Amino acid sequence: MKKHHKNSIAIDVYFQSLESFKKKIENAISKREKLLQPSSEVYFESVAEFRKFMTFHKFELLSAIAYRKPNSIYELAKLLDRDFASVLRDCVALAGVGFLVLEEKKDARGSKAPKLPFAYSVIRIHFPNNSHQMEFNLAA
C-alpha cells in the first residue's frame, strides 16, 4: 500500500463515536435537514476498529476486484490463491460496510459477482479532528 496522487476517485473513510453519530442524526431530524450518506463515504467508530477491519487480505481482495474483475467469489479466491470460505467471509464483511457489492448473477446456482459500488481506486482515510489524511491506492 502506498500514497497516491489526489485526482483518483476515492472512497472516504471517516471516524465517529456512537454518541456523535446519535447527536448528528437527532440534530438533523429536529431541524428537518436532510442527512444522506453518499455511497462514497464509510464511517467507523474508531481508527482502531478500522485497523482491525481492513486487513491486508481485505485490501488485496479489493485491489483484485478493481483491477482483475473476477466474475464470481470462487474466481476471486482462485486469483488470490485463498480458500473460498475465507474469501466469502471477507467479501460479506466488505459488502456489509459498503466497500463492495455482491451482485446476484442470473445463473442457475444464484452465485454472486463481487464488484466495487463505483469505480474507486483509492481508499482515503480522514483521521479524527481533521488531523491528517492518508490515501491507499488499490493499484499498489
State the Rg of the chain over Cα. 17
Query: By CB under 8 A, is residue 96 in contact with other proteins?
Result: yes
Residue with cell 463515536: 17
**DSSP strand pairing (10-15 vs 122-126):** parallel
Contact 77, 83 (CB under 8 A): yes
Query: By CB under 8 A, is residue 85 in contact with other proteins?
Result: no
**DSSP strand pairing (41-44 vs 10-15):** parallel
Nearest distance in Å: CB 6, other proteins: 25
Contact 125, 50 (CB under 8 A): yes
Instruction: Return the ∠ at Cα 47 (arms to 5 and 58), rounded to 5°.
Output: 65
Residues 25-54 interacting with other proteins (rule: CB under 8 A): 25-26, 28-29, 32-37, 42-45, 49-50, 52-53
Nearest distance in Å: CB 62, other proteins: 14
CA gap 12, 135 in Å, rounded: 9
Nearest distance in Å: CB 93, other proteins: 4
Query: By CB under 8 A, is residue 92 in contact with other proteins?
Result: yes
Query: By CB under 8 A, is residue 126 in contact with other proteins?
Result: no
> Which of 89/105 has CB closer to other proteins?
89
Query: By CB under 8 A, is residue 59 in contact with other proteins?
Result: no
> Could you tell me which residues are beta bridge partners of residue 41?
12
Query: By CB under 8 A, is residue 74 in contact with other proteins?
Result: no
Residue ranges binding other proteins (CB under 8 A): 16, 18, 21-22, 24-26, 28-29, 32-37, 42-45, 49-50, 52-53, 89, 92-93, 96-98
